Structure 1
Amino acid sequence: MRLSKVSFRYRRRDSFVIEDADAHLAPGDVIELTGVNGAGKSTLLRLLAGLARPTAGTIADRPPVVGFAPDRFPTGQPFTVTAYLRHMSRVRGGARWEPWSERLNMGHLLDTPLGDLSKGSAHKVGLVQALMAEPGLLILDEPFAGLDVDTRETLPSIATEVAGRGGIVIASDHQGGLRGLPGVRQWSVVDGRLKEGTAAPAVEHAKATAPVTVAVTLPADELPRFLARMRDEGYRTREIEETR
């Protein structure tokens, strides 16, 4: 897969979000994409996935099967999790979603309406629909955000498997969850320009992902629901009784 002088802007008189991007991707590549918020990472991922067309330049030799897991899964759809995944299976020619549902521990979510899912649970649904058809190009936008610990630990092995069968994996990831994989390539978007080999230094990464404790005050009757939601999204919680 090759990007040649790829540029993109939303409207004719707008500034370019992505400008003159050149890159080559080979079967088995795993790419970690970094950059500050608003740098154009999500736009680049949509271009790579074929969900947006370059304003200029070309993207050639994209694998025929693309799996795309967005940062925010669109939950405003009239489906339960099972009904949605069955629908996507039909779209994907009968692809099997059940093994991925089991692997991501989603059994308790299958009868839940999409609109009732937490962000982390919705993200799992997005991952399953991206993985079910064995994509030759797997694109993940902030894949670790809001996930429970077990799923975060599973994702690197999934990326390794996709790459191992000749697929390409590209993940926009400020948490560095794929950074420990052997041979992972580093891309970054800086001022609309795609650069290679520019991952954040390890010290900066450690600071960015270090745990932070936040205290939240809630009415007592709202506490159980709040704690359950936070735990579902992968956060550690602890009740502290306020003293007066």
Structure 2
Amino acid sequence: MRLENVWLRYRRRGPWVLREAAVRVGPGEVVVVLGRNGVGKSTLLQVAAGVLRPSRGRVTGRPRHVGWVPERFPADQPFTVAHYLTAMGRVAGLDPAAAAHAVDHWTSRLGLAGFHRVRLPELSKGTAQKVGLAQAMLRTPGLLVLDEPWEGLDAATRDLVPALIDEVATAGGSVLVSDHRGEIARLPGARRWTVADGTVTEAAPSADAPLAVVEVAVPAARVEGTVARLRADGHRIVGVRRPAEPAPDGPLPGAVDAVGAPEATGGTTGGSS
């Protein structure tokens, strides 16, 4: 997807919020959007997601299925959690059975199973944000756009966000995520765009820091939880061997191969077993 010479302002004679934005993101790539509050990060993300139309320029190559999560989920809607998510699943093109399955899966995964019959205005900010995440993931997005997704979330869900980003990228989707909390450490390998004075620039990639590969053997029943914790701590999972897939002269079956982030290798990763 490309933003080609994108300009945007909110009223005809108002100031330009974005000027000459020309950036691209490819399949499987994750981009973190950085910048102070009020510089246009949310505007850029809304243009990328198709929520806003540029005043000048154009966006090309936007995937058909876009998952969009604003910084604050619009909870002032007269629906229950289950009703809202089911309807959004149908809007995303899922048939009734697939929509019901997706709602059950994501409400369970995000800790919303007990909120099916609760109306959206009755939710706390953090719980409403979980509904927004679930809505974005009901159908695997080709583009996932997250505006400050960690805001208001409990610790368990904050740890899950990097795993969701990794899953979308691994499936070939693109991810744009804004961050002012310093959570970028949880997204090793992500590209970085900085928004300042209405312009968007990309940081030059830093020299590759040495990485260590640590092989961790865990009980087969704990593989998914261990992988999720490693990802949440900023490590990149390069492979999982199940008990039925032993490697000759390799580590124990069921091992998790994790590449540590430069600042979190060696003993930190090994301690997760």
What is the TM-score normalised by the length of structure 1? 0.79
State the 1:12 CA deviation. Answer: 1.5
What does residue range 70-219 of structure 1 map to in structure 2 within 5 Å? 70-94=70-94, 95=99, 96-197=102-203
Of 175-184 and 12-21, more deviation after overlay is shown by 175-184
What does residue range 224-243 of structure 1 map to in structure 2 within 5 Å? none
Q: How many residues align?
A: 199
* CA deviation map 1:52-80 (0-9, x unaligned): 11111111100110000111111111111
* CA deviation map 1:208-237 (0-9, x unaligned): xxxxxxxxxxxxxxxxxxxxxxxxxxxxxx
Structure 1 counterpart of 2:125, which letter?
K
1:209 maps to none
1:25 maps to 25
Q: Please give the secondary structure, in 1, of the residue aligned with 2:64.
A: coil
* CA deviation map 1:2-48 (0-9, x unaligned): 11111101112111000000112110111111111110111111100
* CA deviation map 1:169-207 (0-9, x unaligned): 1111112324332320111110110011189xxxxxxxx
What does residue range 30-45 of structure 1 map to in structure 2 within 5 Å? 30-45=30-45
1:204 maps to none
- The answer on whether the counterparts of 2:6 and 2:55 sit within 8 Å (CA) in structure 1 is yes
Q: In 2 relative to 1, CA 198–172 (structure 1 residues): closer, same or farther, beyond 3 Å?
A: farther
State the 1:97 CA deviation. Answer: 2.3
Unaligned runs of 5+ in 1: 200-244
2:228 maps to none
- What root-mean-square deviation, in Å, do the aligned CA atoms of Structure 1 and Structure 2 show? 1.4
Q: In 2 relative to 1, CA 198–152 (structure 1 residues): closer, same or farther, beyond 3 Å?
A: farther
1:58 maps to 58
* Inter-partner Cα distance in structure 2 for 1:115 and 1:108: 16
* Inter-partner Cα distance in structure 1 for 2:63 and 2:196: 26
Unaligned runs of 5+ in 2: 206-273
What is the TM-score normalised by the length of structure 2? 0.70
* Inter-partner Cα distance in structure 2 for 1:178 and 1:113: 33
- The answer on whether the counterparts of 1:63 and 1:137 sit within 8 Å (CA) in structure 2 is yes
2:6 maps to 6
- The answer on whether the counterparts of 1:49 and 1:139 sit within 8 Å (CA) in structure 2 is yes
1:217 maps to none
* Inter-partner Cα distance in structure 1 for 2:125 and 2:72: 7
* Inter-partner Cα distance in structure 2 for 1:13 and 1:24: 28
State the 1:84 CA deviation. Answer: 0.7
Instruction: Among all aligned residue pairs of Structure 1 and Structure 2, give the percentage whose two residues are the same amino acid.
Output: 48
* Inter-partner Cα distance in structure 2 for 1:49 and 1:101: 23
Ranked by relative contact order (alpha carbons within 8 Å, sequence separation 6 or more), the top structure is 1
Q: Please give the secondary structure, in 2, of the residue aligned with 1:97.
A: helix
State the 1:101 CA deviation. Answer: 1.2
Q: Please give the secondary structure, in 2, of the residue aligned with 1:169.
A: strand
